[in-house]
A and B are shown apart, each in its own frame.
Chain A
């Protein structure tokens, strides 16, 4: 009976705690958001969750801080004997495995678990015994399996941009085969990878072969192609380390820590060093025998077309697209920006109808898909997000929405070129390939490289918007200033120049949906002055004015800020600053 009473007592206590706990957490209102200091943002977080592939985890993954471990072990004497070998095994050739305390052979769940538990805790214990600061030594799971870590990742992928590539190439300037120092190819005869013998043989970026998760190629030896992660850590970090080991502390080499490559601050430092080290006049172009110009061949019927009457039908196809390859190289940091899977022509994977190799993206979409940054239209649409462009383009349809734009890329050949282009389209042989660059250059010759508009004196200086004036005085628009500053924003932009093909193209940013002209129709011609109770998609005049002006100012990021540097220039009014555009009426 006493026992029962005790039990009831403890049950009641437990209940009270439960109730109090519930009430307290209700009061707290929602989960406790952790304050995150900058020192808690790290690039070296490894989540040890290898048992995930064997089923749901019974414990939260271990949050392992790699740099913290290397730094701590680096202070130890015996670390210099074993270095990475303290934690990582190597094969007989001395190649280190990236996994912890094991090779790359598959292991079952129990052994993986045992490997971590025995070695991690063992090492911590040993260090603690030796009187050193060590990680958790107890067998309480939470010490390592902390589901609520106080650190967060700021890991960034590392991009080897042209400057970084230049710096790496420069280190090999003396060597005979400088590309081969890093770039390797698989040699079937040798059954292993060898250094790429010549620039043209370089397959391109690492990611072309070393995919995110690695691949297995049947019949190849070895069958496994390492994942990008294993390949880059295996090659880059090893190289950096060996240089440091050979030359000592004074020889400049690349980073070997996680944060060194993947920390945002370190990446900034790398960019800064590149800026200093790479001469301003250096030729950053990565030369691999690529053409300066190319002629992109649109989809064309494979077989000659034949009509119902048996007679051949003339194929009026799209003209090819002249492409300034060299210029585009200069505007992109890596080849991967466009050649996302291989340094071949787009059509090698993206067939006209689309197939498995090209992810079922047909050739047409590969060029025009707005959502894809690798496509022409997608990349150009991304350029339009720059503040200088966004004023007009934010509210315009992106990509190939406007069919009148087709000719901007598919340049219609004029005069003598017409014949050459027709010939190019007919033939698929080597001669056709050879004539492409020259032809493309000629086709592009007519393109503007600068945006231009009508003569300054033809641009009205001010425009007064007063038809709706009621609560405010009419708004006086500094029309010419606006046009000129828009054009000034496009200075030196070849892309803008090529696409703003006529003098009135720029005008159409505001004077939209009506024929381009020096004297476009008034806004009120289309936008009704009074809003009715029947909803229409076309805004009324008041909304049209406000939308056009405010949206542009906002998209260009100039609202509420000084737009030009002239002394005494007034800031572009904020959207909510009514009197900034039209003065208040005096009553």
Chain B
């Protein structure tokens, strides 16, 4: 749904780079209802730390042989994680000092809605209908966002390959499942600490085992709800899953939902921004225009005022000039009259 939205809005933005492609199982919505997905139930109280699963995984996946052989159990004394050459590792924990150690097998949990698959920008990782989350090296760009996204720190990377590095992780033995076989590790486990089956059946078995032994087990199936649920399920002896180095605070939100909000905001931005920005542009343009007009008006007014003043001044000058002229004429006339009067007086004396 997010994808379609996203494409829709890209279209809205006028960006028509991508073409609609067929829906894939990696779409979260399609995966949530995988009723027949397989899974594996791991019972930590049964695991004896024999590393047979590690050996089987190594053989089945044709991984390079490790430095120390698989029957060397001193390896368990250091805490390990999955690597590019080990899809699964078993770690040893001692929840209560002086008591027997408890073991945990670590491998890809094959989330129902995988963080890695939702994070992959080329769909190199996808959740299959079998429940397995599988990787296609032919698409992988090697951005390693899947490794960042994985809440269980599972995917590993071939850092030492210069040109063809791959992301490496457990495949739940997808090819073997397809042939109706069990995953390598499950088949090798001497104690059925690993049990393969439909996830919904495994959940029932897990809860039956817990209720039959409430004083032994933690009352929780790890993976039933964690991160939206995982295909790999865990039950463990008391005191807690945290005692086995497992994060009990992952929450139940599927990883794709964590970024869904941000992705659904995309249409809003693409839809609203142009309108808003064009509006702003229009406003600022109008402001400019109004400012321009006001300026023009002001200039005109100024010019008008200036010319009016000039005219008034001219008129005034003219009047002034007129008055002055009149006065001058008057004076001249007066002068002439006086001169005339003088001339007439003198004539009588001669």
Contact = CB atoms under 8 A, between A and B. Distances in A.
Interface of A: 370-371, 397-398, 531, 533-537, 539-540, 542-543, 546-547, 550, 554, 575-576, 578
21 contacts: A371-B215, A531-B186, A531-B192, A533-B177, A533-B180, A534-B197, A535-B196, A535-B198, A535-B202, A535-B205, A536-B205, A537-B208, A537-B209, A539-B192, A543-B191, A543-B192, A546-B191, A547-B191, A576-B48, A576-B50, A576-B73
B123 interface: no
Contact of A533 (B48, B182, B191, B205): B182
Given A546-B191, A576-B73, A533 B196 contact: yes
A555 to B, nearest CB: 10
Contacts of A540: 192
Interface in B202-250: 202, 205, 208-209, 212, 215
B191 A535 contact: no
B87 interface: no
Interface in B256-289: none
Given A533-B196, A534-B197, 9 more contacts: A533-B180, A533-B181, A534-B201, A535-B41, A535-B196, A535-B197, A537-B209, A542-B192, A543-B191
Contacts of B202: 535
A536 B208 CA distance: 11
A576 B192 CA distance: 14
Contacts of B129: none
Q: Which 4 A-B pairs have the closest CB atoms?
A: A535-B197, A543-B192, A575-B48, A535-B201
A535 B215 contact: no
A537 B205 contact: yes
B26 interface: no
Interface of B: 38, 41, 46, 48-50, 73, 100, 177, 180-182, 186-187, 189-192, 195-198, 201-202, 205, 208-209, 212, 215
A456 to B, nearest CB: 32
Contacts of A550: 48, 191
A573 to B, nearest CB: 11
A69 B70 CA distance: 59
Contacts of A533: 38, 177, 180-182, 196-197
Contact of B190 (A370, A535, A536, A543): A543
A534 B191 contact: no
Contacts of B187: 531
A534 B190 contact: no
Contacts of A370: 215
A531 B189 CA distance: 11
B190 A546 contact: yes
Nearest to A537: B205
B146 to A, nearest CB: 26
A371 B215 CA distance: 9
Nearest to A398: B215
Contacts of B177: 533
Interface residue SS majority, chain B: mixed
Contacts of B195: 535
Contacts of A398: 215
Given A535-B196, A535-B202, A537-B208, A575 B38 contact: no
B37 to A, nearest CB: 12
A410 B41 CA distance: 41
A397 B212 CA distance: 7
Contacts of A536: 197, 205
A550 B41 CA distance: 20
A547 B191 CA distance: 6
A397 B209 CA distance: 11
A381 to B, nearest CB: 9
Contacts of A534: 197-198, 201
Nearest to A540: B192
* Residue among A534, A537, A547 facing the most chain B CB atoms (10 A cut-off): A537
Contact of B50 (A535, A547, A575): A575
A542 B181 CA distance: 17
Contacts of A547: 46, 191-192
Contacts of B49: 576
A207 B103 CA distance: 43
Nearest to A539: B192
B134 to A, nearest CB: 18
Nearest to B73: A576
Contacts of A576: 48-50, 73
A118 B180 CA distance: 81
Contacts of B41: 535
A537 B207 CA distance: 11
Contact of A531 (B38, B180, B182, B212): B182
B50 to A, nearest CB: 5
Contacts of B191: 543, 546-547, 550
B211 to A, nearest CB: 11
Contacts of B196: 531, 533, 535
Contacts of B190: 542-543, 546
Nearest to A557: B100
B247 to A, nearest CB: 15
A203 B191 CA distance: 54
Nearest to A370: B215
Nearest to B195: A535
A398 B216 CA distance: 11
A554 B205 contact: no
Contacts of A371: 215
Contacts of A537: 205, 208-209
B231 to A, nearest CB: 13
A531 B194 CA distance: 11
A398 B38 CA distance: 33
B3 to A, nearest CB: 33
Contacts of B180: 533
Nearest to A542: B190
Nearest to A555: B100
A535 B192 CA distance: 11
Contacts of A397: 212
B294 to A, nearest CB: 43
A558 B196 CA distance: 31
Contacts of A578: 50
Of B41, B189, B191, B196, most buried by chain A (CB within 10 Å of CB) is B191
Nearest to A534: B197
Contacts of A575: 48, 50
A375 to B, nearest CB: 14
